[in-house]
Amino acid sequence: MRPRFVKSQREMEGRFEDVWVLVDDDDDLETWPEDADLTIVGRPATRHDGPLRASGGARYTVDVALPGMLHARVLRAPVARCRVTSIDLDAARRIPGVRAVLGPEGPFTMHGDAPLTADPAWAGEPIAAVAADTPDAADAGLLALALELEERAPLLLDDGLTEQRFTEEPRDVVRGDPDAALASADVRVELTCETPAHVQSPLEPHAAVVRWDGDALTAWISTQGIFDARRELARRFGLVPERVRVISEYIGGGFGGKQGAGIEALLAAELARASGRPVRLVLSRHEDQVVGGRRARTRQTVTLGARRVGTLAGIELAAVVEMGDGGWIFPVAEPALSLYACDDVRAMTFPVRTSLRAQNAFRAPGMTEGVTVLEQAMDELAAALGIDPLDLRRLNHVERDQGSGLPYSSKRLLACYDRAAELASWTDRERLREPHADGLLRGMGCATQIWWGGGGPPAHATIRLDADGRALVTTGIQDIGTGTLTSARMVAAEELGLALDRVVARGGDTGPNVYAPVSGGSMTTPAVMPAVRSAAGKVRRILLSLAADVLEIAADDLTVRDGRIRSRDGALDVDIVEVTGKLGNATIDGTGTRGPNPDGFRVNTFGCQIATVAVDPGTGVVRVERVVAVHDVGRIVNPLAASSQLEGGVIQGLGYALTEDLVVDPTTGYPVNGHLDDYKLPTIADVPEIVCDFVDVPDANLPNLGSKGLGEPPIVPTAAAIANAFAHATGRRATALPLTPARVLETLA
Amino acid sequence: MPVTLEVNGETHVLDVPATRRLLHVLREDLALTGAKLGCGEGACGACAVLLDGVPVVSCLLPVGAAEGRVVTTIEGLEDEAAVLRDAFVAEDALQCGFCTPGQMISASALLAATPAPGREEIRIALAGNLCRCGAYPKIERAILRASGQGAS
């Protein structure tokens, strides 16, 4: 090992921070070139845990049952803002089977702000929590609390701007002189559109099971970030992290909404401490829909100015974001600033406080909202200029990040446009608008995708090769459904020269203390897989060195591939067990550390989607018939899982465009559709034909696979492409999404 | 009064209220956790089990209503559903996998009634099983594959 510290930049969902990074020069492997002769990476592989998941044997957090375990329930604010005037904690404690009750005043042992309050500021904010022998007894305990409250007027989005009611200072990012540029533009268009409140809706609700063993804490949490959860629990309960173990082996979806320990793990830990028993806390579906999180509703006005030839002269964006009780301002403004070449831009973001929980991450947060409106404005501009919408986008292509001035590490967006146009038969799109026998109006629309996804340090992996010639990859990454551990096996097997079935991968447990980042920001593949490959490279070098001893030949003259060690002259060809078998109970171990991305670049992902829709002008029903999705995310590790990610993102984007919206009752501020029968997710019957393709060229500037992240990119352009297809089909543009039948009929009237 | 329940070929006599939901009994009393509580409101299908061979949402069914009938959960499906399971894996028809047991139950009931279903029949039969990850295109392909129709 040749470890050293270097100063580098870390990126998470577009936010950059300077960090010290541990670098081991031995980890620095040359990026596999485009024409590398790979036998496993880049070929479809089924996920190893597929059979277990498909047979009901995978144990999710909600399935964890411990001896003596109690069941917890949370009393929540039934209106958006209120003040508790009476609550009877002792009455709850008298209910048979109730073992622990926490009220707004606790009693808490945790440090920091308590997650219970007598002064709720948002719909569903926790007031009290009960743990009991059975869920029924816990429910009885909640009823016995006999909550009385005084309602207060909710804070709503509508008057947020006039009241200047912001969670933080509004942002105003200006580049150049947008006022002058827009004033002197040959053509100007302005578009206002509202985007809906979009609920992650993972089918496994937020859940935690917590057990204390003395002062050690074990927590099973349905979370996208086990190490964040460990840090949070350790800090809150005054423990060193080593005394906290977080396990998240199978996670029933997250999509951004399951970060860190969550209130559920904090409350379960406190209830477990108070009762001396393990505690399970699982949110109900209604709780999860109301307090699990959401993509913020936005109201955006975009003004575009262009020269007659089609190049953008100026862009102005004013985005009102319904923050709820706070949270980060996600990069709604980013597409205006970076999607197309433009020297003169103003992007304003107004973060309005309302009486909902703080908005949180949902797959490409901010960027999706921004692209959804900006890309509709681009189509309006194309119409005003009389230029083909795809050509307009090509005309405004940009090769560098305009905010930083840095070049992109790689950008193959033009290839995405060309391939998507070909797959969608874009040049025939006007034919769709001819009358159809079924009376439906058809149209086709496109949209461009941008997102980050470069990953970065820190991420680690260890690999242990045993006497049987089998390798165990250990990482701290949790698999939220992306098949990431299968990717880790593939990368390790490729580098080790082993068959895939001789490599297993383990994750989702902080116990081994092998750090991996949160499953978010499209960073899993680009952060973790280089560490896996580096670890495998070290094991391979040791293996060949040992083989050299056994075979009495120089290590440099040996290769390992397909589980066989061969001499370069072809004279020797032995199964690796000939060498590993001599290890006995010893193992060959290697540790890999993810180094920094190279300075001087911005790492982003790109893509283009083209949607075809059919609109029934009589009923207002919009059906998406086909979506073509072509993305550039560098090298694809597992094409099978990658296409699944892509389809999944498109389908969530389809829900965002057509049916999904968390609607608030203006009198109480409480959501009216916090259930799955009234918050309409796409079903199998709603799904169009989805045609996927990737540019699949490694990014030569990224270590050491050339892969970027893929989780978030596919949702970014879908709603915009659908909205543009709707406008193409009908000649009308809705002022808000989703395109429900009622809204469509209004728009067509 | 105890409830007698036949699940996956075994008879259980349970001291539970007849109004308790079948899903709760399966998961908490019989430790059969393959069926999932996704919503508890009959809206997502993650809790689907077969009742006399017909898919039902076990989160809404009082356990008393299952007396004298045959309950089959994902765990009891294992042998007959091997082809279906393999097809789900081969087509990558699952991501997080939380809804997958319910999808498998609905798909197996469909194939039992309609050995070679068309796409529309698949879409109708599976429309009650939500998949938030969006594995739907591959679920459709997996069912076609399991019914010997290959992936289209």
Tokens 């993972």 belong to A202
ipTM of the complex model: 0.97
DSSP annotation of A49 reads T
SS (H, E, C) chain B: CCEEEEECCEEEEECCCCCCEHHHHHHHHCCCCCCCCCCCCCCCCCCEEEECCEEEECCCCEHHHHCCCEEECHHHHCCCCHHHHHHHHHCCCCCCCCCHHHHHHHHHHHHHHCCCCCHHHHHHHCCCCCCCCCCHHHHHHHHHHHCCCCCC
CB neighbour list of residue A213: distance below 8 Å, 6 or more residues apart: none
pLDDT reported for residue A11:
84
Q: What is the pLDDT of residues B63-92, one digit of tens each?
A: 999 999 999 999 999 666 899 999 999 999
List CB contacts (< 8 A) between A481 and chain B.
95-97, 133
Are B129 and B103 a contacting pair, CB within 8 Å? yes
Residue A507 and residue A406: Cα distance in Å, rounded?
35
In chain A, what is the greatest distance between 2 CA atoms, to the nearest angstrom?
86
CB neighbour list of residue A450: distance below 8 Å, 6 or more residues apart: A334, A335, A338, A339, A367, A371, A604, A605, A606, A716
Give the nearest partner residue to A685 out of B31, B38, B123, using CB atoms.
B123
Give the nearest partner residue to B123 out of A652, A684, A689, using CB atoms.
A684
Angle between helix axes A226-236 and A262-275 (nearest 10 degrees) is: 40
Residue A235 and residue A243: Cα distance in Å, rounded?
11
Give the nearest partner residue to B134 out of A53, A284, A647, using CB atoms.
A647
Are A462 and A591 a contacting pair, CB within 8 Å? yes
Residue A73 and residue A37: Cα distance in Å, rounded?
55
Residue type, B105: I
Angle between helix axes A718-730 and A741-748 (nearest 10 degrees) is: 40
| Residue A297: Cβ within 10 Å count | 26
Is B89–A54 a contact, with Cβ atoms under 8 angstroms apart? yes
Q: What is the pLDDT of residues A505-546, one digit of tens each?
A: 999 999 999 999 999 989 999 999 999 999 999 999 999 999
List CB contacts (< 8 A) between B90 and chain A.
46
Residue B142 and residue B83: Cα distance in Å, rounded?
10
Is A481–B133 a contact, with Cβ atoms under 8 angstroms apart? yes
List CB contacts (< 8 A) between B132 and chain A.
200-203, 253, 255, 652, 681
Residue B148 to chain A, least CA–CA distance (Å): 19
Is B95–A685 a contact, with Cβ atoms under 8 angstroms apart? no
Instruction: Give me the total of CB pairs closer than 8 Å, taking one residue from chain A and one from chain B.
Output: 170
**% pLDDT > 90, chain A:** 95
pLDDT reported for residue B151:
53
Question: What string of DSSP letters covers A607-626?
Answer: EEEEEEEEE-TTT--EEEEE
CB neighbour list of residue A539: distance below 8 Å, 6 or more residues apart: A463, A464, A465, A471, A496, A588, A589, A590
Q: Is A169 exposed, middle or buried (0-12, 13-18, 19+ CB in 10 A)?
A: exposed
Residue A116 and residue A80: Cα distance in Å, rounded?
15
DSSP annotation of A242 reads G
Is B133–A648 a contact, with Cβ atoms under 8 angstroms apart? yes
Question: What string of DSSP letters covers A54-74?
Answer: HTT---BGGG---TT-EEEEE
CB proximity B145 to A under 8 Å: no
Identify the closest residue of chain B to A651 by CA–CA distance: B134
Q: Which mean pLDDT values do the consecutive 10-residue runs of chain A (749 residues) have?
A: 84 84 87 94 97 96 98 97 97 98 96 96 98 97 98 96 96 98 98 98 98 98 98 98 97 97 97 98 98 98 98 98 96 98 98 98 98 98 98 98 96 98 98 97 98 94 98 96 97 98 98 95 94 98 97 96 95 96 97 92 97 98 98 98 98 98 96 97 98 96 94 98 98 98 98
pLDDT reported for residue A97:
98
pLDDT reported for residue A31:
92
Handedness of CA A549, A555, A560, A564 (dihedral sign): negative
CA distances from A38 to A130, A406, A641 (A): 55, 32, 18
Q: What angle do CA A88, A94, A100 make, to 5 degrees?
A: 80
CB neighbour list of residue A235: distance below 8 Å, 6 or more residues apart: A111, A112
Q: What is the pLDDT of residues A484-508, one digit of tens each?
A: 999 999 999 999 999 999 999 999 9
Q: Give the distance, in angstroms, between the CA of residue A538 and the centroid of all CA atoms in the same chain.
A: 31
**What three-state secondary structure class fits A469?**
coil
List CB contacts (< 8 A) between A691 and chain B.
none
CB proximity B149 to A under 8 Å: no
pLDDT reported for residue A3:
86
Is B38–A483 a contact, with Cβ atoms under 8 angstroms apart? no
User: pLDDT category, B152, cuts 50, 70, 90?
Assistant: very low
Q: What is the pLDDT of residues A329-367, one digit of tens each?
A: 999 999 999 999 999 999 999 999 999 999 999 999 999
| Residue A162: Cβ within 10 Å count | 7
Residue A284 and residue A271: Cα distance in Å, rounded?
18
Residue B87 to chain A, least CA–CA distance (Å): 10
Handedness of CA B70, B72, B76, B82 (dihedral sign): positive
Is A46–B133 a contact, with Cβ atoms under 8 angstroms apart? no
Scanning B66-95 for CB atoms below 8 A from A yields 73-75, 77-78, 81, 85-86, 88-90, 92, 94-95
Nearest in space to A330 (alpha carbons), one of A284, A296, A292 = A296
Are A295 and A359 a contacting pair, CB within 8 Å? yes
Are A151 and A79 a contacting pair, CB within 8 Å? yes
Residue type, A190: E
Residue A273 and residue A210: Cα distance in Å, rounded?
9
**What three-state secondary structure class fits A36?**
coil
Question: What string of DSSP letters covers A677-725?
Answer: TTS----GGG--EEEEEE-----TTSSSS-B---SSGGGTTHHHHHHHH
**What three-state secondary structure class fits A495?**
helix
Residue A637 and residue A489: Cα distance in Å, rounded?
11
Q: Give the distance, in angstroms, between the CA of residue A419 and the centroid of all CA atoms in the same chain.
A: 26
* Token pair for A233: 């629990």
pLDDT reported for residue A291:
98
Residue B68 to chain A, least CA–CA distance (Å): 25
Residue B16 and residue B2: Cα distance in Å, rounded?
6
Instruction: Report yes or no on whether pTM surpasses 0.90.
Output: yes
Peptide bond between residue B2 and the one before it cis (omega within 30 degrees of 0):
no
Query: What are φ and ψ of residue A613, in 5° steps?
Result: -125, 160
Residue A209 and residue A264: Cα distance in Å, rounded?
9
Preferred mutation among B50, B58, B98 to probe A, highest tally of A CBs within 10 A: B98
Residue A335 and residue A528: Cα distance in Å, rounded?
27
Nearest in space to A225 (alpha carbons), one of A195, A261, A199 = A261
